[in-house]
Structure 1
């Protein structure tokens, strides 16, 4: 029997991932061996485990909050949309294939549930408590028979469910009543409590509503969690993707918001830098006025390259590059900076040859094989700000399909010496002779504190601004502080006695403390 608690929501983006992260941290603080689990997820923001498997970013964050390494058991099914109804399905960290309507068949559902059950049982043999996270809503009646993230998973081990509603949206109490009404009797029985999230206001005004809600649904409200300001954890869904403007910002970074943007957590550490503003740029936005433009990762490089060309963004980027503005590409964005993208097996789309932006003398050839590694690399380039970092080690991870070859007009930036603990000698990245245009396959690069600070100081120097001192904040330490703060807030606003009664299967009280 798996001992666990499951967080489900009345809708998407009600705060399920954040609350699951908080519970992982809180339970770990209370001495439990705890692990996160999300059976099925559709997301483009993914992470590579130490063994080289691919899982969703949220479960990697939750594992970190629990003080453990993420594994593929924590997310057995990851679905990455590619467009035109097709999605790549990642099974226990490895690409399994592209699926369309097949994902709705009973054969697929039964196959997937077996994988989910096996993964959950594997985790239960290693940990005392599993914090499970659902996706979307468990009461979407049009797709309920295909739902692999919510009640089908809760019923595998009769896991108690806490139903979360976003009270900041309005209509939260009604959404709880409606969600529970649409569930089957056995499913309603599994819902053991309700959490109202993102509350800002007078609790005395809310209290009568809570009493009415509890009376109507016969379930206790386990907690009312306040709206957290100036608080941030990496997001996995670009619905939540937001710019970070600061009035005092002296350095402005523009990031192209591609239609299939992925791994935008690459830029979270930059948002923490003092006097740095990030803006995600769309088709009608002006690109002038930014100190650097970054083309991020994407699940569909060739389609997003065409998007840049069709919207005129490609032309604007090239014009800025000619004026000496720094242009950076990460993963798919790196591939776009080159001369050609070759896809003889139509891995990326329906074009065998695509002309890149021509800003780097590189050429990429796609193949069905996918590279997923955690890496350690040494900085080799002496161009631009890299010269201050020669010989320094950086860490990151690779998630890409295709290999890139370098021409005479560029030089590699990094020398990868470890891929998922295997010693290698592989060049990565490329920059032009001036060091103003560069790209890399390494995700998580800006989470390296010294690298990030040199990068920012280089942009400051170009504007005649004084360099920031070396007393930089550690991105990993900032994350830990956020985990602790999050756990503290949830602990203070959760009925802990009631929560642990639910977790341990005791008799559930209906009277609030």
Structure 2
């Protein structure tokens, strides 16, 4: 199978986005293409059609390649739970939690075999593979057992393009340093360089391109411009924007604040709100960071709910949430945030906290308690938002990924937010109490559902309703249109061994 691997001089250089770009370019060229990342460390997950869990970046890249996402595209997903431990998801299913040292010593052979199996499986069905690396290929303390960069390039026998982010500075040193630290057998696999996130007149960097090519002996096959609003989801929490100012008249803006949790998961739930015309969006860690009283405060998902609860309490949120809610602020919890809104968290097996029989009082904004179970719920969902009086039925779709089961006080049992196709109900929808809770990720993704929920808040705050913005017809074709002119695509195809 022909292919290419994108490796970076560091994390967050744009490999995920460029991999999606390459997937769509190859598909446009009529080549059946598949994305791949051997091991992803992210709390941003994607649920496959068969109810399995992979890194969200590979799900997005599968969309770009116009293929159904599968576990073979990302056999290993590591989901950080604290500074030492991560949940290991193998072929879409939770295995256990490991410390970094235990993972390297106890799981290495299993992980490598899983990567080999995945590559062999994909080769049976696809003509080309676009592989995304992780971090830097020259993390010298990890090279003896690395499973994400040159080891994978060798296993797949594909050439490598090195991606560097010019926006952060030091692009010449990062490229030269990375290449100089690579062992010769790995250095010889690097066939080209891509400069990413360039701002301004590209002609001003012509001398830079010349220097790189002369000093490395490698062609620069792309100088890609910085795209601020490409509409494609970010891979991990490095993509969380610290502050997004609303557009239009600030006095009419719907002010939304989002608590930036320490182990935030699936923050892409919030990304879609960035482009709402009248929305002012702010990420905060502590109550005192709020620049104004919000109309809506969102508590997003988190991989470690009890740990997040304890930190939120330390940061003063217990008192602040009660006061904000008393002052008329709407509170919404998504997945782990929904669990945090309840009365109590119970962890009999230690699957969330790491300590069996843990119990913690939560924020008591809604009459629920959550019990963490050993079996994880991973499922795609389609349903409707349960209408208020004389309101239309609104379709909603998304996915669930969680360990806990939330039990509702019978007095609130009729206040569910969503009913799914199979008749199951989810969440809480109580406008008179200004609370919304749900396990459904991507709840804002569809325009009608987003308008329905946000307009309820807008009207309650004396703001005008909004029709929202229609999404671009195809963000990946739009990406190609914007970035292909800045690539030497013929040279890249030649490096991949594909006929011109």
Shorter-chain TM-score range = over 0.9
In structure 1, the partner of 2:492 is 499
Between 1:81-90 and 1:200-209, the stretch displaced more is 200-209
Q: Deviations over 1:116-167 (max 9, x none)?
A: 1111121121111111000111011111223211000000022111101111
Indicate whether 1:487 and 2:480 are aligned: yes
Which structure 2 segments of 5+ residues have no match? none
Does the CA contact (< 8 Å) of 2:16 and 2:235 recur in 1?
no
Match of 1:261 among 264, 277, 292: 264
CA distance in 2, matches of 1:237, 1:152: 23
In structure 2, the partner of 1:294 is 298
In structure 1, the partner of 2:246 is 246
Does the CA contact (< 8 Å) of 2:247 and 2:277 recur in 1?
no
CA distance in 2, matches of 1:379, 1:313: 29
1:368 Cα deviation from its structure 2 partner = 1.2
Q: Report the secondary structure of 2:363's partner residue.
A: coil
1:198 Cα deviation from its structure 2 partner = 1.3
In structure 1, the partner of 2:213 is 214
Does the CA contact (< 8 Å) of 2:246 and 2:277 recur in 1?
no
Which consecutive aligned stretches of 4+ in structure 1 deviate over 6 angstroms post-superposition?
none
In structure 1, the partner of 2:349 is 345
Q: How does 1:283-362 map to 2 (within 5 A)?
A: 283=286, 284-286=288-290, 288-349=292-353, 350=355, 352-362=358-368
1:236 Cα deviation from its structure 2 partner = 2.2
Indicate whether 1:185 and 2:184 are aligned: yes
In structure 2, the partner of 1:460 is 458
In structure 2, the partner of 1:406 is 408
Which structure 1 segments of 5+ residues have no match? 418-423, 508-513
Q: Deviations over 1:413-461 (max 9, x none)?
A: 22222xxxxxx33221123472511201000110121110122222221
Q: Report the secondary structure of 2:193's partner residue.
A: strand
1:287 Cα deviation from its structure 2 partner = 7.3
CA distance in 1, matches of 2:425, 2:112: 41
In structure 2, the partner of 1:473 is 469
CA distance in 2, matches of 1:455, 1:430: 12
Q: Report the secondary structure of 1:502's partner residue.
A: helix
Does the CA contact (< 8 Å) of 1:429 and 1:439 recur in 2?
yes
Structure 1 pair 55–336 and aligned structure 2 pair: CA distance change class (3 A): same
Indicate whether 1:276 and 2:288 are aligned: no
Structure 1 pair 272–247 and aligned structure 2 pair: CA distance change class (3 A): closer
Structure 1 pair 505–35 and aligned structure 2 pair: CA distance change class (3 A): closer
Query: What TM-score, normalized to structure 2?
Result: 0.94
1:464 Cα deviation from its structure 2 partner = 2.0
Q: Report the secondary structure of 1:131's partner residue.
A: strand
Does the CA contact (< 8 Å) of 2:395 and 2:448 recur in 1?
no
Q: Deviations over 1:39-95 (max 9, x none)?
A: 111101111111111111111111111222211111000000111511100011110
Does the CA contact (< 8 Å) of 1:360 and 1:432 recur in 2?
no
Q: Report the secondary structure of 2:381's partner residue.
A: strand
Does the CA contact (< 8 Å) of 2:51 and 2:378 recur in 1?
yes
Query: What TM-score, normalized to structure 1?
Result: 0.91
Does the CA contact (< 8 Å) of 2:40 and 2:55 recur in 1?
yes
Match of 1:370 among 366, 376, 396: 376
Structure 1 pair 505–127 and aligned structure 2 pair: CA distance change class (3 A): closer
CA distance in 1, matches of 2:373, 2:235: 26
In structure 2, the partner of 1:227 is 226
Does the CA contact (< 8 Å) of 1:158 and 1:190 recur in 2?
no
Does the CA contact (< 8 Å) of 2:395 and 2:449 recur in 1?
no
Structure 1 pair 296–262 and aligned structure 2 pair: CA distance change class (3 A): same
In structure 2, the partner of 1:446 is 444
In structure 1, the partner of 2:64 is 65
CA distance in 2, matches of 1:413, 1:287: 30
CA distance in 2, matches of 1:323, 1:212: 60
1:208 Cα deviation from its structure 2 partner = 2.5
Q: Report the secondary structure of 1:397's partner residue.
A: strand
The RMSD of aligned alpha carbons is 1.9
Q: Deviations over 1:293-326 (max 9, x none)?
A: 0100000111111112111112111112123321
Q: How many residues align?
A: 490
